[in-house]
Structure 1
């Protein structure tokens, strides 16, 4: 673990070298970490990506703002981030359908990337294809804010006891 003075120097160096986009990303990252530490979020990735979720009986919807943090060197959303959004939406749909004491883990994820991730935000909509007691299969689509579908995915999840 870093000593406090090392951390303070590292933060000061980052702030000194940073442009406006870098400062916003750093602020978002620290805000997300604070939310996790205050138990306002369940994981670090959720606040880091500023995930907003909406769930109903048929779908789980996850929306993420497009920021420089999630872009690749082509200035489009990194495919791995798109995969994370997909896996999170489908996984949360699966987990939220289970009784207390059970969880679901990804066993397979198949993604078809259809268009670049650009714009102001991405929205992933997940739903069940099959809901068994041991295996669940879900499907999801990711859309840009202009309505263009950028990815289609299927995923299998194994039900486990916590």
Structure 2
């Protein structure tokens, strides 16, 4: 496995443009932080997530640096990246208040895209609206560097036993 991976990496380094190499370095830096246990999940490392959880307020905020690797063909943040960040912030807020042995999984996610994702960072905030015994309803918002809201989301999450 290591030899095949080394060959793949060497090919990318040999054939890649400066832009390609910059993107590869960005991904590898996040992956390395996951390996070094600075991140819990691979997605956290790949997106270079900074999470802030407030259990009392039942909120979560995630900030990520933007990188061209996440852009769509219009050179703005791909909507799927925004959706992933909103879903992660919402799920993190919920999982932060659940008792040991329970977790939350997305049942429904509804996103309204409002403006293009531009700038240096993307910040997503999530707050719980309703916490039932089997489901949680939550809202989320995504903001670009200049403070403009780029998306508004609502979601329903199932509470499951791990």
Give the TM-score category using the shorter length.
Answer: over 0.9
Summarize the alignment of residues 48-87 of structure 1 with structure 2, pairs less than 5 Å apart.
48-56=46-54, 57-58=56-57, 59-87=59-87
Summarize the alignment of residues 18-57 of structure 1 with structure 2, pairs less than 5 Å apart.
18-56=16-54, 57=56
1:22, distance to aligned residue in structure 2 (A)? 2.1
In structure 2, the partner of 1:9 is: 7
Considering only aligned residues, what root-mean-square deviation do their CA atoms show, in Å?
1.3
User: TM-score if structure 2 supplies the norm length?
Assistant: 0.93
1:6, distance to aligned residue in structure 2 (A)? 2.5
Summarize the alignment of residues 71-150 of structure 1 with structure 2, pairs less than 5 Å apart.
71-150=71-150
1:97-128 per-position Cα deviation (integer Å, ceiling 9, x unaligned): 10111100000000000011011111001001
Summarize the alignment of residues 143-162 of structure 1 with structure 2, pairs less than 5 Å apart.
143-162=143-162
Q: Distance in 2 between matches of 1:121 and 1:32?
A: 16
4+ runs of 1 displaced by more than 6 Å? none
Q: Distance in 1 between matches of 2:36 and 2:81?
A: 25
User: TM-score if structure 1 supplies the norm length?
Assistant: 0.93
Q: Distance in 1 between matches of 2:133 and 2:38?
A: 30
1:44, distance to aligned residue in structure 2 (A)? 0.8
Q: Distance in 1 between matches of 2:97 and 2:19?
A: 39
Unaligned runs of 5+ in 1: none
1:68, distance to aligned residue in structure 2 (A)? 1.0
